[in-house]
C-alpha cells in the first residue's frame, strides 16, 4: 500500500502546489486537510474540490469555528492571554485546533506523516509539530517550504506547468494569517520598523481617527465566559463575530509590536483583534470586582506563564493543562455584566454589576453609611510596618541615623 501524507491545506498557491510537489518528492499519496477557524474567504466545498483537482487522493474539510471559539478562544479570554502584554495569541491558538484535525485525518486515512506550509524561521512550525507529535507520537512531520525547497517562484512555475486551478500572478505584499479571534500581518515594507502601517494593512478595523458615534454594549459573563450581548443570548462564536463588527467599526484592536519569536528572532507584527481586545477589557474589569486580592495577584503570574506556553506551542503540555485547572477555578465567581463604550479606538468600561462582586459599597464609601471600623487602622499599620521598622532600627544601631538634610521642603 502506498504511504500517505496529510497536508494542512489552505487552498492557496503554496499548499495547492505542495500536493503534487510532495507526491513527486516522496512517492506518497497526499490527503488535503482544510480547517475553517473563521478565516473567511472561499467555502469549504470550493477548497475541497480544488484540493482534489490539484491531485489530492482525499480531501478532509472541517468547520471548526464553534470548536475554536469555545475550546480555544474562551480559555484564552479567561487567561487574559496577551503575549508581551499586547498580542492576543491570534495565530498561536489556531494551530493546536488545526493540528488536532490533522492528526484525526492521519488516523482516519492511515497516513504516517503530516505536512504543513511553515518556514524554518517562524513560530508556527514549532506550534504545529509539537502539537502533532503530542497528539500523535507515531507521526512524522515535514514542511515543503522548509524541507523540500519549495519557494514561491518554484510554486508559480509548477502551477503553470501543470495547469493547476489556482491564481499564480497576484502576490499580496504581506503575509497574512486570520481567524475569528483576529488577523496577523507581517513582511513587506513592515519589516522596516521605522515604517508606519498604511491603510491597506488593515481589514478588520476602520480608522479610529474618524469613528462613528459611540457604541455602548453590555456584555454578560457566566464564570468568565460571555453568554449575552445587550441582554440577548449568544454563543462564544456569535459574541466574537458581533464584537469584531462593532469594535472593528470603532478602530479598536489595532496592535503594532516588535515581537520576540520563539526561535530567537525579533519580528515586527501588525495585529487586528477588535472582538478579542474588547472582550479582554470587559473580562479583566469583571475579575477586578470578583477575584480576591491575593488570588488576583497570583493569577496574573499564572496568566503570563499560560500565555508563554501557548505562544511557544505547548497547548497540549502537562503544565498548560495544570494551569487550566487553576484558571477555571478562579472563574467560579467571574459572573455579571460589564458595560463598555466602544469609540475611537478604545473600549472603555462604564459600568460593572455582579451578584458575586466583592465590592462592598458600605465598606468603600466615605459618606453616611460607612461600615468600616477606622479604629482598627492604627494597629494594622503598626503590625504591617513592623518588619521594615525593625530593619531600619538595625541600620541606625550599626551605621547611625540616616542623613535626611536633602529631604527638606523647598521654599
Which residue numbers belong to the known binding site for L-aspartate? 119, 123-124
Total residues found in the chain within this entry: 411
What are 347's strand-pairing partners?
342
Q: Report d(CA 394, CA 383) in Å as an integer.
A: 17
Annotated binding site for ATP: 8-16, 117
| Active site (annotated) includes residue 95 | yes
- Separation of alpha carbons 8 and 230, rounded Å: 39
Tell me the C-alpha distance between 130 and 135, whole Å.
9
If 0-12 CB within 10 Å is exposed, 13-18 middle and 19+ buried, where does residue 408 land? exposed
Which of the residues 4, 48, 65, 95 is marked catalytic? Answer: 95
Active-site position among 91, 99, 124, 346: 124
Asked if 183 is an active-site residue, the reply is: no
Active site residue 375: no
Whether 145 and 14 have beta carbons less than 8 Å apart is answered as yes
Among 75, 89, 77, which residue's Cα sits nearest to residue 280?
77
Catalytic residue among 66, 112, 147, 175: 175
Residue ranges of E strands in 40-172: 58-63, 113-115, 140-142
**Residue numbers belonging to the annotated binding site:** 8-16, 87, 117, 119, 123-124, 127, 175, 259, 271
- Closest residue by Cα to residue 227 from 168, 170, 286: 286
Q: Which helix (H) or strand (E) holds 152?
A: helix 152-161
Nearest in space to 312 (alpha carbons), one of 124, 117, 178, 71: 124
Task: Clarify whether 324 is annotated catalytic.
Answer: no
Q: What amino acid positions are annotated as catalytic residues?
A: 14, 95, 124, 175
Amino acid at each position: 500500500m502506498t504511504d500517505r501524507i496529510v497536508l494542512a491545506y489552505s487552498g492557496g498557491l503554496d499548499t495547492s502546489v505542495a500536493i503534487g510537489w510532495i507526491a513527486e518528492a516522496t512517492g506518497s499519496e497526499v490527503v488535503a486537510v482544510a480547517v475553517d477557524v473563521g478565516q473567511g474567504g472561499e467555502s469549504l466545498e470550493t477548497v475541497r474540490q480544488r484540493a482534489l483537482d490539484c491531485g489530492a487522493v482525499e480531501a478532509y474539510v472541517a468547520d471548526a469555528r464553534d470548536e475554536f471559539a469555545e475550546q480555544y478562544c474562551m480559555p484564552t479570554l479567561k487567561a487574559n492571554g496577551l503575549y508581551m502584554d499586547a498580542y492576543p495569541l491570534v495565530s498561536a491558538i489556531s494551530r493546536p485546533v488545526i493540528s488536532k484535525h490533522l492528526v484525526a485525518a492521519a488516523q482516519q486515512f492511515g497516513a504516517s506523516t503530516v505536512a504543513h506550509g511553515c518556514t524554518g524561521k517562524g513560530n508556527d512550525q514549532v506550534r504545529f509539530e509539537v502539537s502533532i507529535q503530542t497528539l500523535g507520537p507515531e507521526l512524522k512531520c515535514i514542511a515543503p517550504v522548509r524541507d523540500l525547497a519549495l519557494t514561491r517562484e518554484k510554486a508559480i512555475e509548477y502551477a503553470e506547468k501543470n495547469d493547476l486551478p489556482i491564481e499564480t500572478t497576484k502576490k499580496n505584499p504581506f503575509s497574512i494569517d486570520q481567524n475569528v479571534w483576529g488577523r496577523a500581518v507581517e513582511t513587506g515594507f513592515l519589516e522596516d520598523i521605522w515604517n508606519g502601517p498604511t491603510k491597506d494593512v488593515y481589514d478588520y478595523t476602520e480608522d479610529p481617527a474618524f469613528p462613528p458615534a459611540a457604541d455602548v454594549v453590555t456584555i454578560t459573563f457566566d464564570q468568565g465566559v460571555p453568554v449575552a450581548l445587550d441582554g440577548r443570548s449568544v454563543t462564544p462564536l456569535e459574541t466574537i463575530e458581533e464584537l469584531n463588527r462593532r469594535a472593528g467599526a470603532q478602530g479598536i484592536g489595532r496592535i503594532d509590536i516588535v515581537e520576540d519569536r520563539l526561535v530567537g528572532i525579533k519580528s515586527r507584527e501588525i495585529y487586528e483583534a477588535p472582538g478579542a481586545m474588547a472582550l479582554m477589557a470587559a473580562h479583566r474589569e469583571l475579575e477586578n470586582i470578583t477575584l480576591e486580592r491575593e488570588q488576583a495577584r497570583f493569577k496574573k503570574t499564572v496568566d503570563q506563564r499560560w500565555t508563554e506556553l501557548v505562544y511557544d506551542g505547548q497547548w497540549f503540555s502537562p503544565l498548560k493543562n495544570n494551569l487550566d485547572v487553576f484558571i477555571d477555578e478562579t472563574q467560579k465567581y467571574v459572573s455579571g455584566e460589564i458595560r463598555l463604550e466602544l469609540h475611537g479606538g478604545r473600549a472603555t468600561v462604564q459600568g460593572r454589576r455582579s451578584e458575586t462582586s466583592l465590592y462592598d459599597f458600605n465598606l468603600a464609601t466615605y459618606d453616611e453609611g460607612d461600615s468600616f471600623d477606622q479604629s482598627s487602622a492604627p494597629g494594622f499599620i503598626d503590625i504591617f510596618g513592623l518588619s521594615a521598622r525593625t530593619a531600619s532600627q538595625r541600620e541606625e544601631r550599626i551605621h547611625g541615623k540616616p542623613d535626611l538634610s536633602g529631604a527638606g521642603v523647598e521654599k
